[in-house]
Amino acid sequence: MPTTPATATHSSSNGTAEAIMLELVDENGTTIGTAEKLAAHQAPGQLHRAFSVFLFDERGRLLLQRRALGKYHSPGVWSNTCCGHPYPGEAPFAAAARRTYEELGIAPSLLAEAGTVRYNHPDPVSGLVEQEFNHLFVGMAQEQLDPDAEEVGETAFVTAAELAERHAEAPFSAWFMTVLDAARPAIRELTGPSAGW
């Protein structure tokens, strides 16, 4: 993975875990400070910058991931291709590309901005809260996946109809429908009307 000025400050040379810091923002998405990741998610939550990625194959199917069971937040649920948080000072686009590679082992192609959405989603299982100003991205997955088992439990490419069926039967992340609905205009532009998104 390429090292950027933002990621370099979050890499430990001696292999010990460092506290992960998030960028706190106001309602307009302007940076106002930082907070440790877990603290930012404890109720009532602190509004912070995040991103969500939606990648599609050449048939217009969405790549979903089921979050690994070992994750501290929303383990074992299905969600969009990739989501996470930029490091303080890291551009959301760079963070989206970085985390997609770290989690799924692919570099997304045609990755494009798809707007932002602000939401407040408590997780009833963990008690953690997603207070996020989320930057949305859409693109293509054109490489063989190589998921990191510590991050991703399972992956699936689904059509819009298959997603509706799966969403009715399996647990999804609290934020999934909010970010999907906000990204739909860009998704339709990328996949075309026949894909049904």
Active-site annotation holds for 132:
yes
And the tokens for 92?
């959301």
Task: Collect all residues with Cβ–Cβ distance below 8 Å to 60 and sequence separation of at least 6.
Answer: 159, 191, 192, 194, 195, 196, 197
DSSP secondary-structure letter at 161? H
Cis peptide before 44 (omega within 30 of 0): yes
How many beta carbons lie within 10 A of that of residue 96, not counting itself? 26
The catalytic residue among 83, 90, 103, 130 is 83
* 82 is known as an active-site residue: no
Q: How many residues does the chain have?
A: 197
142, two tokens? 């054109």
Choose the catalytic residue: 90, 103, 130, 132: 132
Q: Name the pairing type of β-strands 48-56 and 31-36.
A: unpaired
Residue positions annotated with a catalytic role: 83, 132
